[in-house]
Structure 1
Amino acid sequence: MKRSLQKQLSLILGSTIVFTGLAAAVASFALGYSEAKELQDHMLRQIAKLDAGSPVARRVPEVPPQAARQVRIKESESRITIIHLPGNARPAWLGADLRSGFHTLPTDAGLLRVFIQDTPSGERTVVTQPTEARDEIAVNSALYTLIPLLLLVPLLTALLVRIVRRELAPIARLSRSLDQQPADRPQAIDDDGLPAEITPFVHAINRLLERVNHLLGQQRRFIADAAHELRSPLTALSVQAENLAHARSLEAVRDRVLPLQAGIERARQLTEQLLSLARTQAGTGGGPAVQISSIAREVIAELLPFAEARGIDLGLDEIAPSTVRGAPETLRLILKNALENALKYTPEGGEVTLRLLSEGQSAVIEVVDDGPGIPAAERERVFDSFYRLPGAGGEGSGLGLTIAREAASRLGGVVSLHDRPDGRGLLFRYRQDRQQ
């Protein structure tokens, strides 16, 4: 089960409030109880002082012992008793050797809190109060401070849950907004009214949606271009098949089979390039360390029969061996398409060289030919899908350089076209940071 951020925040913060509230309540109760006890002791002391200074108290010693009686304050919640010695009879629980001050003494009726005050004349005033009554008063006083705090804890918890739900509501609105986006044309999310903590996340989503839109646009253009480019060779194949069906002799069949085979081969090559372009656009960078020279030799061995058939001198010039990081198939696509493009447009008897070198921290691959070259104004357009130079010969489909650039971008490299510095022709260059 997925963890709910709202429940987690509510639980953590709510528990913090509850435990903090309980701790505060216990502390408040303890302080209130202690202060109530101190107040009661202070009250006993004040009663003793007031009683000792009153005329009645000064006349108490003159009362005969047999007629002496204890003075009681008839208050049900206090139950305070004042004893004057030697005027009143000494209770059994009151020892004669007790010093002045506060004492807690056991009696038959329970514990008593006793305050004893001696005067310079030898009189003694004893003020008592049952601890049961004192505890009851102290507890009631402490509860008066405790109850509001206890009532505040659930109120704060409910308020906290409501605040968390309200503050996380923009995330729910954001999810609904994303669900309502069209799958084929997602739009950027508006960040108005969103918390500052969520805004970077929304910006990251918007950047992702922008890349998705770009990829979808590429796919739509690719599908449209592929459909357009496949229509012509398939139509030609259909016409050639019909012509073959109307052949009246074996020689006519043989003559018409050759163009049909050539058309099938062109369609096969175009389909293979379309699939390579689609795989390259959908691929990712990264991969193991790859020796460029080993892949270069494999590609040259694969294309050597085609070069020999046209009398082209295809060679490898390894100036500095290098290693790059990436998928070997992607690097192979770059080399193969660059070499195929050079071989197609180099005239018979020409020369194509694959050169491997190193410049600083970069590995460089160059394909040099002595063909017609490409005008500087057209060197960016030839990387567009299915674009071919006006009047260009050969049987290319306009995808070779497009595939090379797409593969280079996946590996983090850069492809470019330049004039051949030592004469007529074109120089294809691929640069990528090399691995030591």
Structure 2
Amino acid sequence: MCCALAALLGALVHAAVTTQTVDRAREKALGKLAEVTEAYEAGEPLPPYAGVNPPGLPDALRELALRGEHGTMVSTHQDRPTMWAAGPADGRALSVRIDYTLSARTITGLDHAIVGSSVLAIGATLLVGAFAVTRVTRRLHLTAQVARRISAGDLDARVNDPRTADPRRPQDEVATVSGALDTMASSLQNKLLSEQRFTADVAHELRTPLTGLSAAAELLPEGRPAELVRDRVRTMRSLTEDLLEISRLDAGRERVDLDVYELGRLAERVVRASGTETEVRVVRDTAVETDRRRLERVLGNLVVNAHRHGRGPVVLTVDGPVVTVEDRGPGYPAYLLEHGPARFRTEGGSGKGHGLGLTIAVGQAAVIGAELRFLNAAEGGAVARVKLAHACPAQPAHGMTHGIPQGT
């Protein structure tokens, strides 16, 4: 807009000055023509700058004079800018010429001045605009970067715009957005911390009565009622432990205990511990550096979830650093594929909830740096794929010293 405005002003100034200069030269030429016409009619000799049908007179102006009209035209005579004025005289063209060089130079100098000043003005405007815009865009980029950090889970990230911190400074739109983002992050952090504290407190408070309830259940006489009570107590104890684990994961204070393990044997151990009929396929075994307890927790939860909410056969496949758990059930619901598992959510009245198992699996996978994805197979069934980040050729530790089978 600045460039367009400068060009428009330059064109207007050029047009105004050119029109004024040409009009002055035209009036002067027509005045000379009137004097020469009087001299011609009086039979007096004509001055050197006048003549009847002189050579060099523009044809258009000659035809105008022969038609009995007066006119002027700027042309070139002997390589010099010249203003011509012509009128009728006894059926011929009587004309005068005046030097137009000074006027032409004035217009040319004005054009150069307009172009130069426009370039300087545009350059200065661009520099000032670039400086101002860079300051704004830098603050906007910082705000966007903080927003991405917050969405990634860093709730301590803040923009801390100086204009927002100091109310005496003028507030612009960027400061308003930055302040709103910081306020939103603080509010979100406080709510999440409150929820985490609530979850942890509830789990801790449940531990004591559950311990007493478990001891009391063991004193009940053997029979179906006692079995039901003990089963419900075990379920509540498992739920309490899950809540404690989730509260620790939410707090982000988990520490990993890395070591090297053979992935195929670790997967077999998980299946045996689950007590389920799960087929283990080792396509390509490898050693991985990971936290065994957390990885077993992830795979165990996936296997149990496949049996609980899917249909057999359930297959656990090891292919290098990728472990896949598949079943032939109805597959994962749409919300889980799009947003990930939700705590305690169930699908309608079918009771096909995913509880806390998948939520814990996602949290533990993030702690050990593994990528956990949930998919639905084209032929039907749910697929959970765990990709471990630290595959290595080293031999596994903790007594697992046998070599990795070749061609498995």
> TM-score over 0.5 for the alignment?
no
Q: Name the TM-score, length of structure 2 as normaliser.
A: 0.43
TM-score by length of 1: 0.41
Larger Cα-atom Rg: 1
